[in-house]
Each structure stands twice: as C-alpha cells, then as structure tokens.
Structure 1
Amino acid sequence: MKINVIIADDNSFIREGMKIILSTYDEFEVLATVEDGRQAVDYCSAHHVDIALLDVRMPNMNGVEAAKLISGQTGAAPLILTTFDDDEYILAAIQNGAKGYLLKNTEPERIRDAIKSVYHGHIVMQDAVLDKIKSNLKENKEPELKVDRSLFTERELDIMGFIAKGLSNKEISKELFISEGTIANYISSILGKTGLDHRTQIAIYYLTGKTNF
C-alpha cells in the first residue's frame, strides 16, 4: 500500500520539484500539489491523504494554521517544509499538530525517511532545526513551561530545561554543581517517567509538552 501525499507550496518550482522527487519512490503516491494552506485543508478534508507536506509561508492560510486544521479535522499528518527564515514558526507548528519539521534543502533520501517515519506515527525533528530552537532559547527569554510539573522533581525540571537549551551532561553538571553520573541518573528517571527514548525527545517534550513520537 502506497503512502498518499500532497504538497502545499506557493512556489511552483519547489512544489513541482518535490513532486518529481517523491514520484521516483515506489512507496509514495503524490495525489495533488496545491498553492496554499486553505487548498491543502480542503483537499485533505475531501480525500484520503496520509501525509500533507506544508510550506510555512503561504498566502490565504499559512502552514501553521493549515497544520492545526488538518491535524484536528482530517486523518492526514502534517509535515512542515521550512527554511531557517521560518524558525519563529517551528514551535507554533509542533504545538498545532505538525508531526515534524524538515528543511527544504534536505537530501531526498532523508525526506523519504522522514515521511515514512511520520506515516508510522513518529515525530521528526531534524538536528539542524532543533539546534535552531536551542539557539533561540539561549538568546531569548525562558519558554513557557509545557510539561506537567507534578510528574517531576524541581531538579528534573531544571535538567530538562538545560537539555532543551542544548547543554551537554558535562555543562549541566557545572551549572548545577553535581556529577555527570548524577545527571545521567536524573535523565534515566525522566526517560522512565515519560516513556521517551533519548535526550532529543526530552528537549522536544519540554518545549511542546508532547510525548507521542
């Protein structure tokens, strides 16, 4: 069974180029290409779509708004295609139902793998995009806490915050004046409480409150 995909981008070159790329893979069926978020929502509402590839900046309705409606009203999974100029939209998109973020200059094989991963229920966040989030957090004010505080100790919350900012265990140990081994134990506890697998997922969870990777 093929994975049904639509592509939404107001740039016809990118839109048609992505269609050509995805059509070279046997596992995908590109059902349609559309020019804006509203058309993407309407198409997903009327057809069986598995993955909606959405640009962020589009006329009539942007990718964040479209992701929210597609996620909430249809069976399709929204996957954002972005440039670094769109980084202010990253968290908003994830919070509104997007199942991942890909850069437009990503290699075709990685785009293929990301679509398949999202199709199987995972969230995809490229390291480059996650690093961009961490960089912004270091430069700007602390993010609004999205996690359930009652699940964690204050120390665990502190460590999750540092992980979300991109600090290593060694750097966290210097910040908190405790050993790297103790940091590792706290991280193991956090993973156990959340059912997550690794620190990158902890960072995304801390930033979005979502654990369904």
Structure 2
Amino acid sequence: MITVVLADDQELVRSGFAMILDAQPGIEVVGEAGDGTEAVELVRALRPEVALLDVRMPRTDGLAAARAICAGTSTKVIMLTTFDSDDYVYDALYAGASGFLLKDVRRDDLVHAVRVVAAGESLLAPSVTRRLIADLTRNRPRAGRVAELDALTSREREILLLLGRGLSNAEIAAALTVSEHTVKTHVSNTLTKLGLRDRVQAVIAAYETGLITPTS
C-alpha cells in the first residue's frame, strides 16, 4: 500500500486529490495538512511513502517543507503548483523533491505520478529533466563536486552518466548488456556513495560534476 500525505491550503483541492487517490487500488491518503508546518509534522508522525506539497502555503511554504521532509525522512516529495515557472522547478529539485506537477494535472497523471515516485523513479520525463537540469547547472553552477566522482567505480560512473542522460533501468541494462537487477544494484550503490535520494538528484549530480555538459 502506497501511503500519501496531502498538503494544500485550499480544502477543495486537498479533498479532490484525496478522493482521486483513495479510489485507486494500492494507494491510501493517510493525512491532510493545510500549511507547510502541519505537513512536516504529519510526515514525521505518519512516515508516508509520498507527500504532495503545494508550493505556496501559509506559515511554512512548500519548498521549505520539502527541504525539511527530504532532510529528515525517507518520504518522497511531489510539488504542486498553479505556476509553471522554471524557478519553482529548480528550487523544488534542490529541495530534494522527486517530482513536480501543475494543479490542473489529469486524474490518471496524478495517480501515475504517485506510483512512479513511490517506486523510486523521477517524475519528470527524461527529456524535460535533461533540459531543466542543463539550464539549472548552466545558470547555478556548484563548485567542488568533481572530486565526488572519485568515490565511484568505473562502472558506477557509467551508470551515473546514463542516469544523467535520462535512461531507464531497462535502457541502461540494454546499453551495458547486463541484467536489470545488476543495474538496480549499481544505481543503489551510486546513489548511496554520492548521498543522493533518487534519480532526479543523480541527473543533477551528473551535470554538476561535469560528467555531462549541457552541450553533450
């Protein structure tokens, strides 16, 4: 069962999303919050697999709540907003969020997003992720990350490179002529060594370490 906490200061939005998700097999909304402070408290108490957070909320906004949740729990975060702004996406990804949705998302896409993120995948499509991260690292470079690659084996560097290009586990397995189980092991080891939560952060790391450049 995928457990979910919803946080939005608009009760109608919360209840609408809750109705959609609770109607799905294998998904249960275990808590609802009206602001970011309450969202963080609920997540810490209930430890859901996924938290859906509105970007703009009173007391503590969604981005600050996402940082607290991602730093202190294993809950995966999906950000919700009515604003299609790259800045929100960038800030959400750096906060540790695994995905980003507009509030007018279709019912099926909302359900799919929760299932994908709960499974440990990134929500953004590979082509969108690459574009966003390329822009992000071009405009907001972070120095000192190149040395982190020294912790990886040559195979793990290959894995990070392919993750950065947006490949799925199945596509990586085909490219390296290994099993998907082997790929999953390498991905897990790579994320652990670099202190990364998920594949979205792996894409960021691939660019910030210079393993991939925006023009490559």
Normalised by the length of structure 2, the TM-score is: 0.65
Deviations 1:26-78 (A, max 9, x none): 11111121111110100111113111100101111111111111111123211
Q: Distance in 1 between matches of 2:112 and 2:143?
A: 28
What SS does the aligned partner of 2:162 have? Answer: coil
What SS does the aligned partner of 1:101 have? Answer: strand
Q: CA shift at 1:126, angstroms?
A: 4.6
Q: What amino acid is aligned across from residue 63 of structure 2 in structure 1?
A: V
Q: CA shift at 1:20, angstroms?
A: 1.0
Q: CA shift at 1:25, angstroms?
A: 0.2
Q: Distance in 2 between matches of 1:31 and 1:127?
A: 30
What SS does the aligned partner of 1:84 have? Answer: coil
Flag the 1:195–1:131 CA change in 2: closer, same or farther, 3 A: closer
Tell whether the 8 Å contact from 1:67 to 1:98 is kept in structure 2 after alignment.
yes
Q: Distance in 2 between matches of 1:70 and 1:128?
A: 27
Q: CA shift at 1:82, angstroms?
A: 2.1
Larger Rg: 1
Tell whether the 8 Å contact from 2:81 to 2:103 is kept in structure 1 after alignment.
yes
RMSD of aligned alpha carbons: 3.3
Kindly report which structure 2 residues correspond to 1:1-213, keeping only aligned pairs within 5 A, or say none: 2-126=1-125, 130=129, 133=132, 137=135, 142-145=139-142, 148-149=145-146, 192=158, 194-197=160-163, 199-200=165-166, 204-205=204-205
Which residue is 1:167 aligned to? none
Q: Distance in 2 between matches of 1:118 and 1:147?
A: 29
What SS does the aligned partner of 1:125 have? Answer: coil
Tell whether the 8 Å contact from 1:145 to 1:206 is kept in structure 2 after alignment.
no
Q: Report the identity percentage.
A: 30
Flag the 1:125–1:151 CA change in 2: closer, same or farther, 3 A: same
Q: Distance in 1 between matches of 2:60 and 2:16?
A: 22
- Structure 1: gaps spanning 5 or more residues: 153-188
Q: CA shift at 1:111, angstroms?
A: 1.6
Q: How many residues align?
A: 170
What SS does the aligned partner of 2:139 have? Answer: coil
Normalised by the length of structure 1, the TM-score is: 0.66
